[in-house]
Amino acid sequence: MPADQPRPLCFVLMPFGSRADATGLIIDFDGLYRDLIAPAIRTAGLEPLRAEQGSSGDVIDKPLFERLLLCDFAVADVTTANASVFYVLGVRHATRPHTTVVLCAEGRLPFDVAPLHALCYRLDAGGKLAESEVERKLVARIEAAREADIPLFQLIDGSVSPDVAHAKTDIFREGVHYSESIKQRLEVARGQGADAVAAVEKDLGAIADWEAGVLVDLLLSYRSVKAWERMIALSEKMPLPLRNTVMVQEQLGFALNRAGRGQEAERVLLQVLDKHGASSETYSLLGRVYKDRWEAALHDGPPALAAALLEKAVGMYLRGFETDWRDAYPGVNAVTLMELGQPPDPRREEVLPVVRYAVERKIASGKPDYWDYATRLELAVLAKDRSRVEAALPKALGAIREKWEAETTARNLRLIREARAARGEDPMPVDWIEQIERELLGAAK
């Protein structure tokens, strides 16, 4: 693992201090954490994150549940057979069973622990660890959990779900349950601008006390008002389990790139791919990083560099589309960039019908969003099909949610227009594209 790449988190759920077990033996749990659990977790390449003191016995502690579900891995010591601990452990097992390791002292549970695949350790008469071999076994269990990681939630780690990746942030915002009053305040603030959103953040108080839903909605609210630096600052203040999720890391990469910090964005997104594997959304965001570099090189750099960056951007978008054929967003970006080559990339003629089919199926599903209608519009412009454009434009304009969305589509159309003008193509279609750009930008004001 690269030195600058954060280690996956391993949440540790266990008692603090010294506690008596059912036999009356006083067990030094802090010593077990210090001498056994934390070293084993680090040896396995993870970073331990212990539950806050006083929280492990409270089953209604929402921050505890968020850490339990958002951390990549978990180790739970159930020696005291506390009912609350078993409750929260059950929640973890129901959602991420393959990434959870259970520990207990020998003979301390009121039932057979074999179904839990628990790792037992021996204690001496003073309540301290009585064997050294158990650390090696714990390391092996944690490493095996890493190999068997079969995640469930799109929020947690970008696994394939019925929803395409580029839509997951909006789906999360709509589906998450938290204070309705805060949700409404953020909705109003988004209409007033970045300072209004920042005022909501300030009024909420200590960030450690917030629910994950509040933090994500606040992050996306800053995105809505194009407050890129505030997005970056908020992501850096988030609790580690939430900060390390695919969704937040992708949004961090998005914000870094929009803030002109492309190299940092590239590093963050490459780390997401390295840790979690292929994702249409991550590849799309990385494609945008290279697309921006290409446009800068096109005006200020040598032609060979611009050509190389264009090909790199096309490659990222194509990988994204091939990762999930249902996600037309990376597909249309790949086709558009192919159109911008001098001469255009002939592969666009093969890819464009596939992208069109993907977006039409998504629209037919009854759950289209702005990007679906914008993709339909962009494909019609690429095909020089004026009737399709005239049918698609009102739908796209009516589905705009955030200003930067329409600006992104207008930018793509501008790039198509400029590339065709440079090739000396018919000026009428070029002027016609410019009119569409003006309508998109006007709707984004």
Q: How far apart are CA 93 and CA 119, in angstroms?
A: 16
CB under 8 Å, gap of 24 or more: what pairs does 288-296 form? 288/254, 288/257, 288/313, 288/333, 289/253, 289/257, 289/262, 289/265, 290/316, 291/333, 291/337, 292/257, 292/262, 293/262, 295/415
Confidence of residue 346 (pLDDT cuts 50, 70, 90): very high
> Are 146 and 214 part of one and the same domain?
no
* pLDDT at 159 (0 to 100): 38
Same domain, 141 and 15: yes
251-276: pLDDT as tens digits = 999 999 999 999 999 999 999 999 88
Residues 27 and 88 placed together within one structural domain of the fold: yes
The percentage of the chain sitting over the pLDDT mark of 90, rounded to a whole number, equals: 51
- Do 216 and 145 fall within a single domain? no
Percentage of residues in the chain having pLDDT higher than 70: 86
Q: Find the mean pLDDT for residues 199-220.
A: 85
Mean pLDDT score of the chain: 85
Q: Is the pLDDT of residue 158 over 80?
A: no
Q: How far apart are CA 309 and CA 291, in angstroms?
A: 7
What is residue 54's three-state secondary structure? coil
Average pLDDT over residues 287-295: 96
Which residue, 224, 239, 269, sits at the end of a domain?
269
CB 77 within 8 A of CB 38: no
Rounded mean pLDDT, 79-108: 80
Residue 381 lies in a domain: no
In a domain, 82, yes or no: yes
CB-based contacts of 192, cutoff 8 Å, min separation 6? none
Do 79 and 145 lie in one domain? The reply is yes
Tell whether 167 is covered by a domain: yes
What pLDDT was estimated at residue 116? 63
- Which pair of tokens denotes residue 258? 């929009």
pLDDT at 163: 52
> What are the residues whose beta carbons fall under 8 Å from the beta carbon of 255, sequence distance 6 or more?
222, 223, 228, 229, 231, 232, 235
Report the distance separating Cα 248 and Cα 244, nearest Å: 7
- Who has greater pLDDT, 23 or 161? 23
Examine residue 441 and state whether it is found in any structural domain, yes or no: no
Q: What is the pLDDT of residues 128-144, one digit of tens each?
A: 888 878 999 999 988 88
Tell whether 357 is covered by a domain. no
Sign (positive or negative) of CA dihedral 183, 185, 188, 191: negative
Please determine, for residue 26, whether its predicted confidence score (pLDDT) is greater than 50.
yes
Domain limits for position 70: 9-150
User: pLDDT tier at 4 (50, 70, 90 boundaries)?
Assistant: low
Q: Are residues 41 and 85 in the same domain?
A: yes
State mean pLDDT over 280-290: 96
What's the chain's length in residues? Answer: 445
Would you place residue 242 in the very low, low, confident or very high pLDDT band (cuts 50, 70, 90)? Answer: confident
- What pLDDT score does 19 carry? 87
Question: What is the C-alpha to C-alpha distance for residues 320 and 313, in angstroms, rounded to an integer?
Answer: 11
Of 53-57, 102-106, 202-206, 429-433, least confident by mean pLDDT is 53-57
Kindly state whether residues 145 and 164 are assigned to the same domain: no
CB atoms near residue 369 (< 10 Å): 17
